[in-house]
Amino acid sequence: MKRLSKKLCLYFILAFLVVCLINVLTSKYNKENDLKSYDEMFNTFYNYSKDSGLNGPKVSMDDPNLIRKLRDHFLVKPAEESKGRRIRYNLSDRSLIDPSMGQAMEIAKIIDYTKGGFFIECGALDGETRSNTLYFERYYGWTGLLIEADPLNFIKMLKKGRRAYLSPSCLSVNPYPEIVSFLQRSNMGRIANDEVVEDEVISNDIEKKTSPVLRCRRIRIKCNKNYSI
């Protein structure tokens, strides 16, 4: 009986070690994939090497070349439209009806629970956390435009399965398109062309980018007027 107990204990320990090893390998694989996905996404949407002629005061917001560029390179179609089939939401908390902390529900009352509307949310973060529009999309059939400048937030939003257009950009504070300096700070990122930031850190490692140690990172972002998008 004692031998049997020892064997069972040994098997349990071995099984536990195998599970731990699998988790470590899987975690490493996922991190490598996340880094690869981030780099691909960044090179796709945040490469402005060919945009020099489409920025600045001389560029009209209804310039046909600008409009074409925005539609082709700065708009991601809704998940269902791009896949051609029904897509399930990939939310961290599907049971949460209104992630906006009640704001969306109050707005729904004001607009008499209108269905099938169109929203624009600038600063959409990851498309779920404190979203002001997800409630309307899920329960009232709305669609719209989600604008998020920070690539770390945008890559998360790409995976949520939102039924809206996504734009990796920001809204220009001037009456023309421009490339600005943007400070990444999770949900507190902002345009900061002339701002000096003492805790600024530059890193190509996605783990360091998402670490609490990294308080700020400066990147270049394309900003457009809402009219053009």
Q: Which pLDDT tens digit goes with each residue over 1-35?
A: 555 566 656 655 665 555 554 554 444 434 444 44
Q: What is the pLDDT of residues 157-169, one digit of tens each?
A: 999 999 999 999 9
**Cα separation, 121 vs 123, whole angstroms:** 6
Q: What number is the average pLDDT over the span 148-176? A: 93
User: CB–CB of 130/104 below 8 Å?
Assistant: no
pLDDT in the model for residue 41:
82
- Residue 212's pLDDT is 40
H or E stretch covering 182: strand 178-184
Task: Choose the weakest-confidence range: 54-68, 126-140, 194-208, 211-225.
Answer: 194-208
The larger pLDDT score, comparing residue 64 to residue 17, is at 64
Entry pTM:
0.75
Report the chain's mean pLDDT, rounded to a whole number. 79
Distances (CA, A) of 176 to 60, 136, 147, 169, 183: 6, 31, 17, 14, 21
**Confidence (pLDDT) at 119:** 97
43 band by pLDDT with thresholds 50, 70 and 90: confident
Average pLDDT, integer, range 58-74: 88
The number of C-alpha atoms within 13 Å of 121 and in the hemisphere containing its C-beta is 29
> How far apart (Å, rounded) are the C-alpha atoms in residues 66 and 224?
10
Locus of tokens 């945040």: 46
Cα distance between residue 20 and residue 46, in whole Å = 37
